[in-house]
Amino acid sequence: MTSKIAIIWNPTKTDRESLQSGLDETLGEGGGPEISWWETTADDPGQGAARDALAAGADLIIVAGGDGTVRAVAEHLADAETGIELAIVPLGTGNLLARNLDVPLGDIPSAMTRALEGEPRAVDVGWVEVDLDEGIERHGFVVMVGFGIDAHMIAETDDALKDKAGWLAYVESLGRALAASDVVPFHITSDGQPARDEEGHTLLIANCGTLQGGLTLLPDADPSDGELDYLVLSAEGVAQWAGTLKTMIWDNGLKRLVTDKEDLTSTDSIGHGRAKTLEVTLPDDRAFEIDGEEIGVTRSFTVSLQPSAIRVR
């Protein structure tokens, strides 16, 4: 029985009054659980708020914000290993974890209802140690990390346009991202096996497979299966890109649904794999993203998985 709810909210995404109104609509008249409010800041995107909420005795944390706020809170909960349940009121541009867990988007009362009444699901959390200009940093993630088109697209996206157009702003930056994403060789080691050489302009390592606009890059990625799925893309030129899109949308998407085909189709420009740990080294600096946020450039990073690290309603 939930008795103490902590709401961690990002004031750049909404105001407390809107959240309170949605919560009141869900709770109705009469008594309810004790509610505490914790506001994120530029210096504390959510980890500190989650720590303080736990110290205050919260037995459910509702995080209201975008992907960065969700990731920060989930990171602390996974690291603390408390078992406290998490719920999401998605208010960002991508809302990637919420999309993958079918949490209602753009509807605070419905998201609040899910938060209060939904059944918890064990969700894996990935960890990445990435070598940046300031040194090695360790971050948790719930959706995906990687380099290439996705990271370039995020870096090239205009923030003002993103505020106005939402996820469609990423489409506007796609052309510049394609131009900046040349094919490079890199070394990859999975699950302690011997390192192998790969080449591509994009490597995505995913806990979840669906991105903005409902685009599913890794259809088999399951945030509760105890494994990470990864995708290597190396398409160049119009013809290869046309074939790549056909493979991803039709062969590995709609066709599999119709035919019940199990295995993903790989081509010369698309490679797939699954692993619990991955080590990657690059010949030069590449823009790197975590859950839709470009955090800098790197030449090496290591990814691991913490199975069933958090419980999400």
CATH code at position 217: 2.60.200.40
Radius of gyration (C-alpha) of the chain in whole angstroms: 20
Q: 286 and 139, same structural domain?
A: yes
Q: 105 and 18, same structural domain?
A: yes
Q: 243 and 145, same structural domain?
A: yes
Contact 109, 294 (CB under 8 A): no
Does residue 244 sit within a domain? yes
Q: 223 and 97, same structural domain?
A: no
Q: How many residues does the chain have?
A: 313
Q: 216 and 155, same structural domain?
A: yes
Q: Which two tokens stand for residue 209?
A: 């497979």
pTM for this prediction:
0.83
Q: Which domain holds residue 198?
A: 125-308
Q: 156 and 102, same structural domain?
A: no
Rounded to whole angstroms, the Cα distance separating 292 from 40 reads 18
**153: helix, strand or coil:** helix
Q: 147 and 76, same structural domain?
A: no
Residue 2 pLDDT level (bands cut at 50, 70, 90): confident
Q: Does pLDDT of 16 surpass 70? A: yes
Does residue 313 sit within a domain? no
Q: 112 and 154, same structural domain?
A: no
- For residue 279, give the amino acid letter: E
Give the total number of structural domains in the chain: 2
Q: Does pLDDT of 272 surpass 60? A: yes
Q: Does pLDDT of 123 surpass 60? A: yes
CATH code at position 104: 3.40.50.10330
pLDDT of residue 307: 98
Which region among 7-16, 66-75, 287-296 has the lowest average model confidence (pLDDT)? 287-296
Among 86, 118, 150, residue at a domain's last position: 118
Across the chain, mean pLDDT equals 83
